[in-house]
Amino acid sequence: MKVLHKKTGEYYEAIIELVKDEDWEIIDKSGQFDFNWRKEKAYLVHKIRLELEEEILGIVSVENIEKEFRLHIRLIENSKANRGKGKKFDHVAGCLIAHTCELAFEKEYDGFVSLKPKTKVTIQRGC
């Protein structure tokens, strides 16, 4: 996966991996995330970071709905540094969603993923 550095226009290689035990405290104390991510520990929680750095750029929590052959995105969040017009990196959430789709293919769910937006979704015409 690659994320776009907004200032330089360069793409950086990013890694998506499961949140480790030592990450939970970092997530809590960083001040970069608004949601209480510890509530998601019972699910598959993945983080995205740059290949050569440990800073967490975004997080996604995924629930396996096995009887419906789909993965459900329970929660997804970019770090505060990667939100809005002044964000440092773009494509963070998109990479997390794409990764979840890949997981759904690996589970032989034909890529089926669902989510319920917690914020207003705007449709861009011409996409």
pLDDT at 127 over 90: no
Distance separating alpha carbons of residues 74 and 54, to the nearest angstrom:
24
- The pLDDT of residue 118 is 75
- The pLDDT of residue 116 is 87
Specify the CATH number for the domain of residue 92.
3.40.630.30
- The pLDDT of residue 122 is 67
pLDDT at 72 over 70: yes
**Residue 124's pLDDT band (cuts 50, 70, 90):** low
Number of domains making up the chain? 1
Q: What is the pLDDT of residues 95-104, one digit of tens each?
A: 999 999 999 9
Q: What is the pLDDT of residues 2-18, one digit of tens each?
A: 999 999 999 999 999 99
> DSSP assignment of 52-90, as one string?
T---EEEEEEEEEEGGGTEEEEEEEEE-GGGSSTT-SEE
Residue 104 lies in a domain: yes
Burial (CB < 10 A; 0-12, 13-18, 19+), residue 68, is exposed
Residue 120 lies in a domain: no
Domain that holds residue 63: 2-115
- The pLDDT of residue 103 is 97
DSSP category for residue 22:
T
DSSP category for residue 17:
E
Q: What is the pLDDT of residues 74-121, one digit of tens each?
A: 999 999 999 999 999 999 999 999 999 999 999 999 999 999 887 776
Residue 127 lies in a domain: no
Q: What is the pLDDT of residues 21-54, one digit of tens each?
A: 999 999 999 999 999 999 999 999 999 999 989 9
Residue 126 lies in a domain: no
Residue 15 lies in a domain: yes
Residue 93 lies in a domain: yes
